Structure 1
Amino acid sequence: MMMVMLGVFISVALILGTANAASLGAVYTEGGMVQGEKHSVGLFRYMDVFKGIPFAAPPGRLEKPVPHPGWDGVLKATDYSKRCMQLNLLATDVVGSEDCLYLNIWVPQGRSVSTNLSVMVFIYGGGFLLGGGQGANFLNNYLYDGQEIADRGNVIVVTFNYRVGSLGFLSSGDADAPGNYGLWDQHAAISWVHRNIRNFGGNPDNITIFGESAGGASVNFQILSPKNKGLIRRAISQSGVALCPWAVNRNPRQYAEEIAKKVGCPTDSGMVACLRRTDPKTVTLAGNVNFSASASHPIVHNLVLSPVIDGDFLPGEPETLFENAADIDYIAGVNDMDGHLFATVDIPSLNNALVSTPVEDVRALSIALSESRGPDAGITTYEEYTVNWGSDPSDKVVKKTIVDMETDYIFLVPTQAALYLHSDHAKSGRTYSYLFSEPSRMPIFPLWMGADHAEDLQFVFGKPFSTPLGYFPRHRDVAKYMISYWTNFAQTGDPSKGESSVPVSWPEFASSGHQYLNINNKMNRDSVKQMLRTRLVYYWTTVFASFPAVQKS
């Protein structure tokens, strides 16, 4: 009898708990009311989820975003919107829509409705060519689902779409179509969050933006732009900063004219008007990237649809704008083999243990990556990377050297340079550096493989928790560490202090000898290191930079 009574009591408690569960219900925003969905995520823990809230009107073609006119009644915010128009993965067709400026919000709730929570706004990567606020989807499991971060870190998570490819980054190089539409979309989303997030239980004065790859570079652009003054408190750049060689398009007019010719538009003063009239799918397809690459023509040089120095959103070269981030706390880091993804496109033998990679490929790649400073710089680069080879390097050494060279050039060295600049210009802003080195889970990769490009994302978004069968316990450890550091940082500006415990305290970058945190599943006191690849950072930023720049014809 006692057991029956206990069972009834528990059932009643659960029903009452659910009935009294905290939930926002319909929320008032500047455009009108929105109604999301509520999920239970644990005992007395719930999640209010809003998907597909417009943060701007459907954008004009090659124009800045403008405010949404609003709606009558209550908007059902329960489905992701279409991603912005972009090439499909094979670059043979177009997916998405021009009407794409929508965002998604995850709000964690306990027994009472949350208030004044820290807010984390995510910016996706994809080379400024593709991507969406929900991320890749496998069986309705979206990569950028914010629930695990929100629940485990007690923060509000926001993701959103921004224009990519031709429609997001084509620039005529003048006032007709200045470019950076995707960056303006990001700014519009951040501004919307700042104006509206209080009604969702967020603190508008504690917004952290974070992003990966082109999203990491975008985060850096957003904190450098004077347009965001007062909107952003903290920022995290994962594998991408504004100083990366692919992050700024130096010849926007030339590339715009190439697209215009492909779609049958003139290249004179009528070019932009013609491009605006042309079918957007055609214009998007014309912004295709040439994926045929080799050691002497690396893929990184083909990523040309990117932000431009427009004199408006970006009033000058990125390295001259760090004053604007002086009071913003900043984490930046890379994966230890971020360049692997790019290197395997350039030199396909890298992943094939049965095929050796010729030394000539290393020389050709050195010269190609150094093309901005000429062939003498290329030979010096080659010598710098092969100095410890000896007379007969093994195939493994040759292959690792290629991955190191692409990792350094494309990601690591620019990220270190950004950390130095942020730290040098900081007033109240703190600076933190990391290296993510959890070995890849890809079975086809060589045994010496570390963390490839984008492999950090699954851990930051808690996939080892939401899809446990695909991971080992050590992967859940990595996810727990990253979510703790990232959300503590969002709450306090110090990744070691906040609501979540961490395995080791993460010191500031400049506190004593340019320290960084090595993030993997074996974290302890030895995970705090210093002077990350200092010799090669010095080579690229000082020796290489001292060669005279080659003037392109």
Structure 2
Amino acid sequence: HIMMIHLVLVGLVLRSAAAAKTEGGAVEGLNVNTGLFRTVEEFKGVPFADVPGKWEKPKPHPGWDGVLIATKFRERCLQVTLLQTKTQGSEDCLYLNIFVPHGLSVSTNLPVMVYLFGGAFLLGASNDVEVFGESLYDGKEMADRGGVIVVTVNYRVGTLGFLSSGDERLPGNYGLWDQHAAISWVRRNIRAFGGNPDNITIFGQSAGAASVNFQMLSPYSKGLFRRAICQGGVALSPWALQKSPMVLTKKIARKVNCWQTEEDNMLACLKIVDPIKLTMAGKINLGSVLCSGPVMDLLQLAPVVDGDFIPDDPGKLFHNAAQFDYLAGVNSMDGHIFAGIDVPSINNMKETTTADQVKGLLTGLTKEKGDAAISSAFDVYSVHWGLAPDPAIVKKTVADIETDFLFLVPTQIALQLHANNTSGASTYSYLFNMKTRIPGFPRWVEAEHAEDLQYLFGKPFSLPLVYFPQHRDLSGYMIAYWTNFAKTGDPSRGNSKVPVLWPAFTKYHQPYLVINNSMSKIASKPYGSLSPWPLQIPPMPEFLPQQPPEPHAASPAGTHQLLPESHRLKRPDRTPSSA
């Protein structure tokens, strides 16, 4: 009889609807069975704001009568397709999705994790990249295995999300305001879904990670969430801030035939242009990269210092982030995909990559810093080559340069600024270096940009035939660390067991966890290369520690260097295997 009751209960779970009451009205989602006596409630396409006006901040949703059926993802925000030949999506796009885990009892007071997608501020969606019918950002596995509520949100991208005149006429940052509106909605409503509004973690990857960082730095976020995770991107990344927005806006205006020389007239013209035309005008012209400079220069639609949401240069705003626990890191080859566009020979077995090509790349990346910077940067990166360098080492150096410049160095500076400003909140650093699963790349390629996401979102469990046991191990570890951090502010403490204790990153000691399927390494040796481009961070006395490290914080002799003295930034020693 007991067995029969169990089967009936499981049968009910498979088919039952899930319901919750939000400020806009009642919503009904689906209960999905995830194991014996375990379910995840899914609410897809819940509105967190009204249809936004063109280049206006999001407005509260007016609500609805009756019950909103929330079982399907809504359209993404209007954007170019990946191949940039046409647009997809809608202006009616400010929706989020909620994944709530339940065991034998109904969940209450669960930690909440809000995910911001990446896509160069140009494209992406909360349900992006369907893999075998399942969204890459499906929160089911993470919610179920980690015991947290996962929320994925849409925000405006491209021209409609980030065009700016650099002043109050067209202030920009509309996509950041959307994210803020979504996090605020979660804080006001998540209790109805079993969540704890006082324990929200925001996390994101690439442009989504830079967005997380901007949310931390904004004065509007005070008390709004509790913790933050940046994966492969921070607000200090050179691609994450548009410093000359009006130059870009004039370029876009010319593409849509707004030729007025008087700026006010040109902006008035832009405001009446069809949104699809405006969106197409924001696409990247990849053809121009081969003759003009690094691909990074093409990533132009981005947040701006607007004097409001982002009141100052991001490097000067870390006092606003002092209240949040912070976890950040990069993939060991985050820059490889960009390096392959800038120096195509690195991925071609038959071609060699020359010292002149490496110098050419450094010239493009350090052009604001002058000739001396190029030569010192080249010396730093070629010091381990020897007289007749292995072709694979030269190729890997190109990937390392782009990884350092676009991701690693800015992330380390953000971690240092957080640790220097923190008031009791914790800081954690990692390097994800699981070898790539993308076929066709040379053997020295490790973790490509965005390759961490399949493990974090539990794809080796939901798509078991496409992965091996080692991938399931890694996925389990990442979900444990990330969700423990969301629960307690310490990735090693929580309900989930972890393979290695992850030490905190502090003002004077900067260990980082190396994440892969063997999980055996905490590294804290000095960064191998001198950063040839200390990014434009604020002057040292104000932000970086000047005094020597405290005795108890020092690491073993010769394994630790202070950032301000040497400006050495951690680059793990990564010698390639043969090509």
Under a length normalisation based on structure 2, what TM-score does the superposition of the two structures give? Answer: 0.90
| Matched AA of 2:314 | P
| 8 Å Cα contact 2:315-2:537 kept in structure 1 | no
| 8 Å Cα contact 2:113-2:149 kept in structure 1 | yes
Aligned to 1:275: 270
Aligned to 2:284: 289
Query: Distance in 1 between the 2:186 and 2:373 partners?
Result: 46
Query: Distance in 2 between the 1:16 and 1:78 partners?
Result: 22
Q: CA 1:359–1:545 in structure 2 vs 1: closer, same or farther (change >3 Å)?
A: farther
| Matched AA of 1:441 | R
1:306 aligned to 302, 307, 312, which one? 302
Q: CA 1:531–1:213 in structure 2 vs 1: closer, same or farther (change >3 Å)?
A: farther
1:65 and 2:65 are equivalent in the alignment: no
1:316 and 2:312 are equivalent in the alignment: yes
| Matched AA of 1:479 | S
| Matched AA of 2:267 | V
Query: Distance in 2 between the 1:514 and 1:294 partners?
Result: 38
Aligned to 1:202: 195
| 8 Å Cα contact 2:159-2:279 kept in structure 1 | yes
Query: Distance in 2 between the 1:228 and 1:513 partners?
Result: 28
Aligned to 1:368: 364
Query: Distance in 1 between the 2:320 and 2:391 partners?
Result: 46
Aligned to 1:163: 156
Query: Distance in 2 between the 1:137 and 1:428 partners?
Result: 40
Deviation per CA, 1:345-399: give whole Å up to 9, x if none.
Answer: 1111211112212221101001110012122212221121112222221211110
Q: CA 1:544–1:150 in structure 2 vs 1: closer, same or farther (change >3 Å)?
A: closer
Work out the number of aligned pairs and report it. 536
| Matched AA of 1:38 | N
Give unmatched runs, 5+ long, in structure 2.
540-579
Aligned to 1:379: 375
Q: CA deviation at 1:270?
A: 1.8
Moved over 6 A (4+): 20-24, 542-546
Deviation per CA, 1:225-284: give whole Å up to 9, x if none.
Answer: 011110110000000000000000011001001111110113521222222211100000
Deviation per CA, 1:313-367: give whole Å up to 9, x if none.
Answer: 0000111111111110000000011110100111112111122122211010011
Q: CA deviation at 1:105?
A: 0.1
1:530 aligned to 513, 524, 539, which one? 524
| 8 Å Cα contact 1:23-1:109 kept in structure 2 | no
Query: Distance in 1 between the 2:164 and 2:395 partners?
Result: 37
Q: CA deviation at 1:19?
A: 4.4
Deviation per CA, 1:501-522: give whole Å up to 9, x if none.
Answer: 0000000012872100000011
Deviation per CA, 1:149-192: give whole Å up to 9, x if none.
Answer: 00000000000100000000000112111000000000000000
Q: CA 1:486–1:14 in structure 2 vs 1: closer, same or farther (change >3 Å)?
A: same
1:237 aligned to 230, 236, 241, which one? 230
Under a length normalisation based on structure 1, what TM-score does the superposition of the two structures give? Answer: 0.94
Q: CA deviation at 1:89?
A: 0.9
Aligned to 2:326: 330
Aligned to 1:394: 390
Q: Partner of 2:286: helix, strand, or coil?
A: coil
Deviation per CA, 1:45-88: give whole Å up to 9, x if none.
Answer: 01110000010000000111110111111000011010001011
Q: CA deviation at 1:13?
A: 2.3
| 8 Å Cα contact 1:46-1:110 kept in structure 2 | yes
Q: CA 1:183–1:544 in structure 2 vs 1: closer, same or farther (change >3 Å)?
A: closer
1:145 and 2:145 are equivalent in the alignment: no
TM alignment of 1:495-534, pairs within 5 A: 495-510=491-506, 513-524=509-520, 527-531=521-525, 533=527
Query: Distance in 2 between the 1:16 and 1:115 partners?
Result: 21
| 8 Å Cα contact 1:249-1:304 kept in structure 2 | yes
Q: CA 1:494–1:543 in structure 2 vs 1: closer, same or farther (change >3 Å)?
A: closer
1:193 aligned to 176, 186, 196, which one? 186
Q: CA 1:213–1:543 in structure 2 vs 1: closer, same or farther (change >3 Å)?
A: closer
RMSD: 1.9
Give percent identity, aligned residues only. Answer: 56
